[in-house]
Amino acid sequence: MTETGTGSGTVTDTVADAFIEVDRVEKVFDVRRRTGFLKRERRQVRAVDALSFTVARGEMVGYIGPNGAGKSTTIKMLTGILTPSGGRLRVAGIDPARERTRLAHRIGVVFGQRTTLWWDLPLIDSYRLAHRMYRIPDARYREILDRLVELLDLGALLDVPVRQLSLGQRMRGDIAAALLHDPEVLYLDEPTIGLDVVSKARVREFLRGLRDERGTTVLLTTHDLQDIEQLCSRVMVIDHGRLMYDGPLAGLHEAGESERTLVLDLERELPPVDAPPPARVVRVEGPRQWLAFPASASAAPLVARLAAEYPLVDLSVREPDIEAVIARMYEERASA
């Protein structure tokens, strides 16, 4: 990857439109653990390992993976909070760790698990602080604040101390705080965590608007695959610090041999039904049982056989959902 031209104002020869560039990036943590009296063990955790990807301007990319995969570590490196142990990072042509403050004016970050708002102060005070901190021109600040207040429905909340806000209200407040300085890039680390269905829908709708109307580049980390399904056409899957998949969401369905699910409603609670392999019962809840079977196989013989042997009230077939496909990818990797 080549450097951008400096001084002349022209950009020479970069990857077309690559706005976020991650090139063989590593992050190794030194962890010291007490193993006994005066005894400590030093261990290294490779949280991110030879990670490479680029994100184009205006793209909204999902970034998913199991707990401890390295998602938050990646985002922290992209904001400059953490310095990579190796490799090369650029966001809007800026090296985040070296020019964190300059980059801060171009990016917004929301960490769903930790608020950036002032806990004891009314919401509006956090925004006023951001106004000054980012030196946003007054008229611009007004305009952006008004728009965010409207879109995120914050009007009635501005004078409420943050600690009194519900989780969903607080999250909307956090998202507005991250966008007041009109950043070109937004990192969202679990923006819907812990939210109820209505709040989730609201946040998603807002993000959709941001993507469609502002062309903001968004990297979205989440454990809720519906976030991805509804917002991102591209998804990156990370596990053990390594990129396992990068492509369209639809491709995840084909990754690995997918399974379909047959949902049986029995007349009464019964032990798991006896299904011909590879079909198998994966879940039992009262009189309802879930069976997984290969997506390539027809459901008809399986249904016929079960109907002959068990008191069925109802049944339905579900197509593979990405949650199941991803769980499978993880399983396969763990057992490889």
Residues near ligand ATP (CB under 6 A) are: 29, 31, 45, 47, 65, 67-73
- Judged by CB under 5 A, which of 54, 72, 216, 258 binds Mg ion? 72
Please identify, using beta-carbon distances, which residue of 72 and 289 lies nearer to ligand ATP. Answer: 72
Please identify, using beta-carbon distances, which residue of 72 and 115 lies nearer to Mg ion. Answer: 72
The minimum distance between CB 155 and ligand ATP, in angstroms, equals: 32
Q: Which amino acid is present at 327?
A: A
Which does residue 54 touch among ligand ATP, Mg ion, none (CB within 5 to 8 A, set by kind)?
none
Q: In residues, how long is the chain?
A: 336
Please identify, using beta-carbon distances, which residue of 45 and 313 lies nearer to ligand ATP. Answer: 45
Stretch of 64-72, 232-240, 248-256, 272-280 contacting Mg ion, by CB under 5 A: 64-72
Cα–Cα–Cα angle for 274, 277, 280, rounded to 5 degrees: 60
Which does residue 317 touch among ligand ATP, Mg ion, none (CB within 5 to 8 A, set by kind)?
none
Does residue 289 belong to the site contacting Mg ion (CB under 5 A)? no
Please identify, using beta-carbon distances, which residue of 42 and 114 lies nearer to Mg ion. Answer: 114
Please identify, using beta-carbon distances, which residue of 33 and 135 lies nearer to ligand ATP. Answer: 33
Burial (Cβ within 10 Å: 0-12, 13-18, ≥19) of residue 116: middle
Which does residue 69 touch among ligand ATP, Mg ion, none (CB within 5 to 8 A, set by kind)?
ligand ATP
Which does residue 108 touch among ligand ATP, Mg ion, none (CB within 5 to 8 A, set by kind)?
none
Q: Which residue is associated with the tokens 């604040």?
A: 145
The minimum distance between CB 151 and ligand ATP, in angstroms, equals: 27
The minimum distance between CB 221 and ligand ATP, in angstroms, equals: 7
The minimum distance between CB 78 and ligand ATP, in angstroms, equals: 12
Stretch of 44-52, 65-73, 78-86, 321-329 contacting Mg ion, by CB under 5 A: 65-73
Which does residue 67 touch among ligand ATP, Mg ion, none (CB within 5 to 8 A, set by kind)?
ligand ATP
Three-state secondary structure of the chain: CCCCCCCCCCCCCCCCCEEEEEEEEEEEEEEEEEEECCEEEEEEEEEEEEEEEEEECCCEEEEECCCCCCHHHHHHHHHCCCCCCEEEEEECCECCCCCHHHHHCCEEEEECCCCCCCCCCEHHHHHHHHHHHCCCCHHHHHHHHHHHHHHCCCHHHCCCEHHHCCHHHHHHHHHHHHHCCCCCEEEEECCCCCCCHHHHHHHHHHHHHHHHHHCCEEEEECCCHHHHHHHCCEEEEEECCEEEEEEEHHHHHHCCCCEEEEEEEECCCCCCCCCCCCCEEEEEECCEEEEEEECCCCCHHHHHHHHHHCCEEEEEEECCCHHHHHHHHHHHHHHC
Please identify, using beta-carbon distances, which residue of 71 and 202 lies nearer to Mg ion. Answer: 71
The minimum distance between CB 86 and ligand ATP, in angstroms, equals: 15
The minimum distance between CB 84 and Mg ion, in angstroms, equals: 17
How far from chain centre, in Å, is Cα 133?
Answer: 28
Which does residue 31 touch among Mg ion, ligand ATP, none (CB within 5 to 8 A, set by kind)?
ligand ATP
The minimum distance between CB 72 and ligand ATP, in angstroms, equals: 3
- φ, ψ of residue 64 in degrees (nearest 5): -130, 165
Residue 253 CA to residue 265 CA, distance in Å, equals: 26
Please identify, using beta-carbon distances, which residue of 4 and 226 lies nearer to ligand ATP. Answer: 226
The minimum distance between CB 220 and ligand ATP, in angstroms, equals: 13
Stretch of 71-79, 98-106, 212-220, 233-241 contacting Mg ion, by CB under 5 A: 71-79
The footprint of Mg ion (CB under 5 A) covers 71-72
